[in-house]
Chain A
């Protein structure tokens, strides 16, 4: 068991812990926005860490580059999809509370309309 394999397993176990955290967040959080927060932040870093781990475990140039490319695609598309879902549900007023203490996004939406 070389140092490389140990580092790869470290990444993979970290990714697994993050994925478990995502699942707990998806089940336990109360509404759309907090659940999206859990899946956007934690699942992305989980997938990227998993691709790092597999790329180090495989350790051949072309295969590792392909796996890192998959991780890069995940890094781009997962926040994108969660952003689109959160924006759509904000504009449709899904699960929005009546009284808000902080509401920064409405200014941005008005500016975006013009």
Chain B
């Protein structure tokens, strides 16, 4: 790297630093938050939603309409990638990795699945939720394609199943939203179904169900993205 590039990089970095410092100094200080929505959420979210996890309470109750938009963005990304990358050819099989890796992932994959389900269903009690657990579920499809070969993934967990799972997750979310209207409230209102005491698994009204819907949707969506990307890459029989 030449000297002018160094000077250029230092200039850009110092400009960025000055910009961040100026915008940091313009942030309101802590006391101006006293009567804001932050205060309301911290004080009342447990009694209002029944969710121990404030982030989940905000994501799937106070701001659920926004989460619906986020999952629609994922849906758009999946549709665009499938549209751009889909070919009529079937996925070309690779042999996968060695015997040792196949056996060990045979033992590990059920636990990865269990961990993903745990993250999804305990989203209102502990850190995590639909998006994070869904990514773990999506990783299972990637493990299938890389470790066992993409033909295994095509047979065991076909694109039709993936599309079905993704669509049913999205429909579960939107259906819960319309249930709110049917029961005489707002769109995506928290239906107080199956409400046990705060802290148990079946608390927090409709938040766990939205979590499950989002989880399946994200997991299947990422699997579809990976699947349509691997179709072309594995064309020439890569052996690892």
Tell me what chain A mostly uses at the interface: helix, strand, loop, or mixed: helix
CB of B239 within 8 Å of the partner chain: yes
**Residue contact B108 to A77, C-beta cutoff 8 Å:** yes
Distance in angstroms between the alpha carbons of A87 and B239 in the assembled complex:
10
**Residue contact A112 to B99, C-beta cutoff 8 Å:** yes
CB of A76 within 8 Å of the partner chain: yes
**Residue contact A84 to B97, C-beta cutoff 8 Å:** yes
Chain A residues within an 8 Å CB radius of B30? none
CB of A88 within 8 Å of the partner chain: yes
CB distance from B193 to the nearest CB of A (A): 32
Distance in angstroms between the alpha carbons of A77 and B104 in the assembled complex:
8
CB of B240 within 8 Å of the partner chain: yes
Chain B residues within an 8 Å CB radius of A87? 97-98, 240
Q: Beta-carbon contacts of B223-240 to A below 8 Å, as 1s and 0s? A: 000000000000000011
Name B70-108 residues within 8 Å CB distance of A. Answer: 97-101, 104, 107-108
**CB-based A-B contact count at 8 angstroms:** 24
Chain A residues within an 8 Å CB radius of B99? 112
CB < 8 Å neighbour of A83 from B100, B107, B239 = B100
CB distance from B89 to the nearest CB of A (A): 25
Q: Beta-carbon contacts of A14-34 to B below 8 Å, as 1s and 0s? A: 000000000000000000000
Q: Which of A84, A88, A91, A112 has the most CB of B within 10 A?
A: A84
CB < 8 Å neighbour of A88 from B100, B104, B108, B240 = B240
CB distance from B21 to the nearest CB of A (A): 35
**Residue contact A84 to B108, C-beta cutoff 8 Å:** no
Lowest 8 A-B CB distances belong to which pairs?
A: A88-B240, A80-B104, A84-B101, A84-B97, A87-B98, A83-B100, A80-B101, A91-B239
Could you list 19 examples of A-B contacts with CB < 8 Å? A76-B104, A76-B107, A76-B108, A77-B108, A80-B100, A80-B101, A80-B104, A83-B98, A83-B101, A84-B97, A84-B98, A84-B240, A87-B97, A87-B240, A88-B240, A91-B239, A92-B240, A112-B98, A112-B99
- Which residues of A are interface residues toward B (Cβ below 8 A)? 76-77, 80, 83-84, 87-88, 91-92, 112
- Which residues of B are interface residues toward A (Cβ below 8 A)? 97-101, 104, 107-108, 239-240
List 16 additional contacts besides A76-B104, A80-B101, A84-B98; criterion CB under 8 Å: A76-B108, A77-B104, A80-B104, A83-B98, A83-B100, A83-B101, A84-B97, A84-B101, A84-B240, A87-B97, A87-B98, A87-B240, A88-B240, A91-B240, A92-B240, A112-B98
